[in-house]
Amino acid sequence: MSRETFVVLCAAAAAMCGCQSSKVKISGRIVGTEPRNIYLEEVTPLRQTIVDSTVLAADGSYLFRLRDIAASPSLYNVVYDNERIPLLVEGGDRVTVNSAGSVVRNYTVEGSAESELLREFYQAFVVGAQHLDEIASRFAEPNLSEERHRELMKEYTNEYFRIRREQLRFIVENKSSLAAVYALYQRLPGDSYLFNGDGDVVYYRTVAEAVAERYPGSPYVGALQAEVARMDAQAGLASKVSELNYPDLELTDMYGEKVRLSKVAEGKVVLLDFWSAELGTSNALNADLKELYAKYAGRGFEVYQVGIDTSKPLWITAVQEQQLPWKSVTDLRGRASSALVVYNVQRIPANFLIDREGTIVGKNLYGRSLEEKLEQLLP
């Protein structure tokens, strides 16, 4: 399963400005095992952190108390015997989590509507994944006949698609629930996509719209919309490349006007440059680029610079203070920008040099190496 990606969707839940906060109580009993440590894990944008721990009492009971918890649901895991029980809790919740025997397979939740709904999906999903593992282990049977191999393949395939159908059913039927957001990001072993690759965007968009209606202003909405934008960008990448030899972009400048990369690049050698005012390391690189721009702009050189930022005032201030003379644009999505996905940019700064024929002829060229390439391309 892919908890890492879902972590990003919990980003602002615990840090929303102006929201009320209160106490949360998580308690219950875990029976049928020897008393041992039980942990409470908080899921944040950057990591999963153990925030509390205790030892089960003789009767298997435990208690966690949290303070200053946001009114908007946040993700926590109750961790016991290397198994995780996910909870979506909000300020004021009094949650009871009980289990007997196998923790994940048998746990129950009361006192949190979102957590109860999440249990409905998660428990069945984990049980199904464990069943798949059990079937897969049988392929190692000694002297496995061809007929037995076919039987196991059929059994595995049937179970695999049964789980996926149930996952889809849960998401569609509970599209306005935050539990559906969690379900979107769970993967069976070997899965890169939820159902059929690019078509997944339909489910992400459906959930994003439904959650926005039920929880106006929820931080999950923005994260889901960014995911939809990335998937849309990837879906359209092939057609854009076939038409232009490079992926086209259309982003907004500081005046709110849409600026298309292909329009800027018409008849020009263009540098597509990715930078960030928020990183604070752009001044020197932009200063060098300004010198090259002054030297070659008259010969047909242009720059289309994409700001990977989230603060519009900070980005505009940097553009104005540095007196950047070229096309400066952004979508204000920071690292969630679809432009990064389209060009597979892993780190900032980065750039791509596109010649007059629309071919990408250089990548991450700076200073002298960029100037040498411009001399070759510009008469």
* CATH at 261: 3.40.30.10
Residues 275 and 154 in one domain: no
342 within some domain: yes
Number of domains in the chain: 2
Residues 64 and 168 in one domain: yes
Distance CA 160, CA 130 (A): 11
Predicted pLDDT of residue 243: 53
336 within some domain: yes
Predicted pLDDT of residue 16: 43
Predicted pLDDT of residue 23: 92
236 within some domain: no
Range of the domain at 333: 245-377
Question: Would you place residue 7 in the very low, low, confident or very high pLDDT band (cuts 50, 70, 90)?
Answer: low
Predicted pLDDT of residue 106: 87
334 within some domain: yes
Residues 139 and 267 in one domain: no
Predicted pLDDT of residue 21: 55
User: Given a cut of 70, is residue 229 above it in pLDDT?
Assistant: yes
Predicted pLDDT of residue 188: 80
User: Given a cut of 70, is residue 360 above it in pLDDT?
Assistant: yes
| pLDDT mean over 348-356 | 93
Residues 282 and 137 in one domain: no
User: Given a cut of 80, is residue 275 above it in pLDDT?
Assistant: yes
- Give the predicted TM-score (pTM) of the model: 0.57
14 within some domain: yes
User: Given a cut of 70, is residue 221 above it in pLDDT?
Assistant: yes
Residue ending a domain, among 173, 197, 214, is 214
Q: How many CB atoms lie within 10 A of CB 53?
A: 13
320 within some domain: yes
Which is more confidently placed, 138 or 6?
A: 138
141 within some domain: yes
Which is more confidently placed, 208 or 273?
A: 273
Residues 144 and 257 in one domain: no
Tokens matching residue 351: 């750039």
User: Given a cut of 50, is residue 12 above it in pLDDT?
Assistant: no
Residues 112 and 59 in one domain: yes
Residues 24 and 140 in one domain: yes
Residues 268 and 334 in one domain: yes
Q: Is 343 within 8 Å of 247 (Cβ atoms)?
A: yes
The enclosing domain of 106 has a CATH number of 2.60.40.1120
Residues 198 and 262 in one domain: no
Residues 136 and 19 in one domain: yes
> Residue 165 class from Cβ within 10 Å (0-12 exposed, 13-18 middle, 19+ buried)?
exposed
| pLDDT mean over 120-141 | 90
Predicted pLDDT of residue 264: 94
Per-residue pLDDT of 326-339, as tens digits, reads 999 998 888 778 78
Residues 178 and 38 in one domain: yes
